[in-house]
Amino acid sequence: MSRDRFDVLERFAPLFETTQPSFEGFLRRRDRRRRNQRISAGVVAVAVFVAAVWIVTTGGPFHRTQMPAAPGPTAPPTPHVGLIGLAPEGATPSLPEHGELVFSFMFGHTMGDPGRFSVFVYEDGRLIWQRLADLTGGADEYSQAYTTGLLEQRLTPEGVEFVRAEVISTGLFDQDRYLASGQGLNFGRIEVRVGDRLARVTWGDCCDPGSKNVARTTPTPQQASALQRLDARLADPASWLPASAWADPEITAYVPSGYSVCYEPEQEVGLSRVLASLPPPAVDLLRTQGIRRSEYTNLLGTFVLWCSDLATEEARALAQILDDAGQDGHEDVFGLRYVIGQRDPDTTEVSLSFDPLLPHQT
């Protein structure tokens, strides 16, 4: 199994899948290199981030640390602190496995993957976040591998309400909004529960606004400033949340209880053609867990893929099947991916990725 560098700007897939439930699109990332090469060099979109990353010491157990200083848009990248790929044997999943999402936030600091910052806050107090390295400060190739991975802290019920109130205080959530980029904004999305509804603000060209009835508008300086201030606040919540807001401010690695394994053809073909490209034991395993059709839309059009949700042990078994069949797996900051049939002109090329499931997706 080989490792790829953080080849982020070749990724042009969507940040959100239009047919997924409200927040699930945050975790999809698709690598469509050949299709992307047909796009003008001036067109830049981004891939959904997902990484399954765990903080570890060298050859040792999981590590706990204080929150590092959050880098700004042009600051040096955060050191790579975790594993990439599937959870190691013996790793205990973060508990509880299921959670009700109260708030979700993604802020693009550049027009690509570098610097993207995401936060998920759950009713049970978990705050799960990730920042991808920002390369705008002249980072070298080695620095491209740096990212925080998916990390976890714990808030009290009071802390959850503090964060939710901070979001609502922007005044942007009296209605759903779809804002253009500009005024210092690249792309992003926020969803937060307000009463009995889920309010959404989306900006930039990357993201589905959620409704065709939401008109796109130019952000005012006040709106852009409010979003940027929120970004800065959520990057360092320890700087403004009271001590009573934390059940546990220390950072631990988020360990998923399972993975969404998605397989996507390079060409528009049916499921039978896709499965024919996979080793038969892999097809048997995927069929036993159920296969669902999905699709997403980006600047290139609408594309179909199929996914199966697997427990971690099943995901490891699938990866072993692919390895035994001579398929090359690649691990980068987005997780584990296989490209099958790339060298066989008689086989449909299929990209197969392992994306960790967050608590609201299980």
Mean pLDDT for 246-269 is: 91
- pLDDT-based confidence at residue 266 (cuts at 50, 70, 90): confident
| Backbone torsion region of residue 88, taken as left when φ is above 0, otherwise alpha when ψ lies between -120 and 50, otherwise beta | beta
- pLDDT number for residue 29: 40
Measure the CA–CA gap between 343 and 102, rounded to whole angstroms. Answer: 45
304-308 — which CB contacts under 8 Å span 24+ positions?
304/264, 304/265, 304/268, 305/30, 305/262, 305/263, 305/264, 305/265, 306/262, 306/263, 306/264, 306/271, 306/274, 307/260, 307/261, 307/262, 307/263, 308/260, 308/261
- pLDDT number for residue 346: 77
pLDDT (tens digit per residue) in 174-188: 999 999 998 889 999
Q: Which of 137-141, 162-166, 204-208, 279-283 has the lowest mean pLDDT?
A: 137-141
Measure the CA–CA gap between 362 and 357, rounded to whole angstroms. Answer: 6
- pLDDT number for residue 122: 97
Q: Which of 65-79, 135-149, 314-328 has the lowest mean pLDDT?
A: 65-79
pLDDT (tens digit per residue) in 13-29: 333 333 333 333 333 34
- pLDDT number for residue 208: 66
pTM of the predicted model as reported, rounded to 2 decimal places? 0.75
pLDDT (tens digit per residue) in 199-224: 999 998 766 666 677 888 999 999 99
- pLDDT number for residue 58: 32
pLDDT (tens digit per residue) in 33-89: 333 333 333 333 333 333 333 333 333 333 333 333 343 433 444 444 646 679 888
- pLDDT number for residue 137: 47
- pLDDT number for residue 52: 33
Q: Which of 16-20, 92-96, 141-145, 225-229 has the lowest mean pLDDT?
A: 16-20
Mean pLDDT of the residues in the chain: 76
Instruction: Say which residue, 7 or 155, is predicted with more confidence.
Output: 155
Q: Which of 125-134, 140-149, 251-260, 330-339 has the lowest mean pLDDT?
A: 140-149
What residue spans define the domains of the chain? 10-253, 258-361
The values of phi and psi at residue 275, to 5°, are -65, -30
How close are the terminal C-alpha atoms of the chain, in Å?
28
% of the chain with per-residue pLDDT over 70: 70
Mean pLDDT for 338-361 is: 89
Letter for the amino acid at 101?
L
Residue 119 pLDDT exceeds 90: yes
